[in-house]
Structure 1
Amino acid sequence: MDRKDFVKKIAKILDDKKAENISALDVRGLTSLADYFVIASAGSETHARALADYVEEEIKKQTGELPHHVEGKEYNRWLVLDYGDVIVHVMLPEVRDYYGIDWLWADAKKVD
């Protein structure tokens, strides 16, 4: 599967579970961490955990791919699923605002 399609699939999965303010970003040339980021806000810690778990389950079901690493499940305020060249961030709005995530990646191209 093309990685851009993979990113779109993740964004759709998040949207299906009522994630808010979903951004799919092409960060190639801006960081060596990954090629794409998918950033989404959750309404609560419980919602954040459910979103991350659902992405992990659905991606495994649909593509067979598992994240290389998952961070944040102990607090559920900012969860990160690392798929190598695609990193998924699920966070509470106040955490997203505090760290200025959207401002940090304002130069990234949006994935349509």
Structure 2
Amino acid sequence: MIFIIPEEFAQKIKEWIDNKNGFDIEVINVTEMTSIANYFVIASGSSERQVKAIADNIEYEAKELEIFPKGIEGQREGRWILLDYYDVIIHIFHAEERGFYSLEKLWKDSEVSR
């Protein structure tokens, strides 16, 4: 496994999401607020197919860097997929779920990069 700084990995993930036309991409630094991760990357897709394609692309690109997830949830449904890469946790939402859950509000005091 290649070592990569969490902030750099989060920014790479942002690029990979953008490459699959994901939108409303936010990189949230939660280092000072929780011990579960250093960064959350939150993004939206307009359909279940797009949400799955974004998640698949992240998994593929990370694997190319020899970085493997600790866990993945929600792939079958494709409405909210969570990819846990230890220091970076990615939430890919269908646009409808993104508005409903509004995870950004939970971390409103964190540093956000768009």
Q: Do both proteins adopt the same fold according to a TM-score greater than 0.5, normalized to the shorter chain?
A: yes
Which amino acid is the alignment partner of residue 83 of structure 1? Y
Q: What does residue 5 of structure 1 align with?
A: 8
| 1:59 shift after superposition | 1.2
Which amino acid is the alignment partner of residue 66 of structure 1? F
Q: What does residue 112 of structure 2 align with?
A: 110
| 1:2 shift after superposition | 1.6
Q: What does residue 56 of structure 2 align with?
A: 53
What count of residue pairs does the alignment treat as equivalent?
A: 111
| 1:48 shift after superposition | 0.3
Q: What does residue 76 of structure 1 align with?
A: 78
Q: TM-score w.r.t. structure 1 length?
A: 0.93
CA displacement 1:3-40 (0-9 Å, x = unmatched) = 11111000000001100100011001212221100000
The alignment-based identity, stated in percent, is 38
Secondary structure of 2:17's counterpart equals helix
Find runs of 4+ consecutive structure 1 residues off by over 3 angstroms.
Answer: none
Which amino acid is the alignment partner of residue 60 of structure 1? K
C-alpha distance in 1 between matches for 2:55 and 2:105: 23
* Cα-Cα RMSD: 1.2
Q: TM-score w.r.t. structure 2 length?
A: 0.92
**Structure 1 portions without partners, runs of 5+:** none
